[in-house]
Amino acid sequence: MKLTIGSRGSELALWQAQWAKDQISGIFPDAELSIKIIKTEGDKILDVALSKIGDKGLFTKAIEDALLEGSIDIAVHSLKDLPTALPGGLCIGAVSKREDQRDAFISLKYNSIDELPQNAVVATGSLRRKCQLLNYRKDLNISDIRGNINTRLRKLESENYDAIILAKAGLVRLGMDNVIRQTIPEYIILPAVSQGVMAIECRTGDTNINMILSRITNNESLYAVTAERAMLKTLEGGCQVPIGVYTKIENNEIILDAMIGSLNGENIIKCCMKSDVNDSEELGYKAGTELLNRGGREILSELRNNV
């Protein structure tokens, strides 16, 4: 069996592609596996804030096109980059065990968000993080930042930022968690939908590949991201809308804390719901509807007029 794995070219993306390769090799040792690097639109446009260029498929469309054309057989993504509506003919064949879903605070001078001085400059490319940071600390100055993990870490020093915020999962996977000063508690910043989970995307008609990938899937992650993505779909949001969620699974029960907020952080709506894990998708729809009914519709309308 020969399989070509499609991936972005960043260090983290290639780590993820290698993870998929190792998982498949563990099941089929004789499989011939190769990795093909594909440059996405998000990799080409580095001098514009994500919120200004739209986000749906920005880091995935070129790879999905290759999958549909047949030049690759599977694609590996950070699941948080995948829109909730996939192109016709494609599906998520497997999801990984979840790494810590929370965000990480990184600074050369300070150990936590609370230690930051008045009017400190914090860099992030995420409206979700900006919204929640400003809600917690109105005095902070938020600066936009783009680039892969190493680029952002270099900018921490070269741009003289007081701190940057990154997803903890990527740092852990690359063995760079020594730079983390604080794992940000979820009461300060709720993570992105599906943060910390990798996904393997494939063609719906490839029965053998789907069967292989089903043996890789982590069921606990699947329950969690099913709820989170259902919530996101209900809110019609992408990664550049201030939507956050933190999901726990305990005793076969899924507990979901979610938020949607205004760009300036002045208006944040939250909800907390739980259900049996087998009802995770319904839980996500209910959470999304609850946020909309509490004022989320007005926030989304305002965002569409301002972003």
Which positions are catalytic?
81
Q: Give the tokens for residue 296.
A: 């989320």
The residue with tokens 């982590």 is 218
Question: d(Cα 140, Cα 202) in Å, to the nearest integer?
Answer: 42
58 dihedral zone (left: phi>0; alpha: psi -120 to 50; beta): alpha
Q: For the range 276-280, what are the long-range contacts, defined as Cβ-Cβ under 8 Å and sequence gap of 24 or more?
A: 276/252, 277/223, 277/249, 277/252, 277/253, 280/223, 280/224, 280/226, 280/227, 280/230, 280/254
Question: d(Cα 232, Cα 254) in Å, to the nearest integer?
Answer: 16
- H/E segment holding residue 106: strand 103-106
Residue 60 burial (10 A CB sphere; 0-12, 13-18, 19+): buried
Q: What is the DSSP letter of 215?
A: T
Phi, psi torsion values for 238, nearest 5 degrees: -120, -170
Question: d(Cα 74, Cα 67) in Å, to the nearest integer?
Answer: 7
User: Which residue, among 6, 15, 11, 98, has the nearest Cα to 61 in the 3D structure?
Assistant: 6
Question: d(Cα 181, Cα 163) in Å, to the nearest integer?
Answer: 10
Residue 187 neighbours by CB under 8 Å, 6+ apart:
none
Tally of residues, the chain: 307
Distances (CA, A) of 12 to 169, 196, 293: 10, 12, 38
- H/E segment holding residue 156: helix 149-158
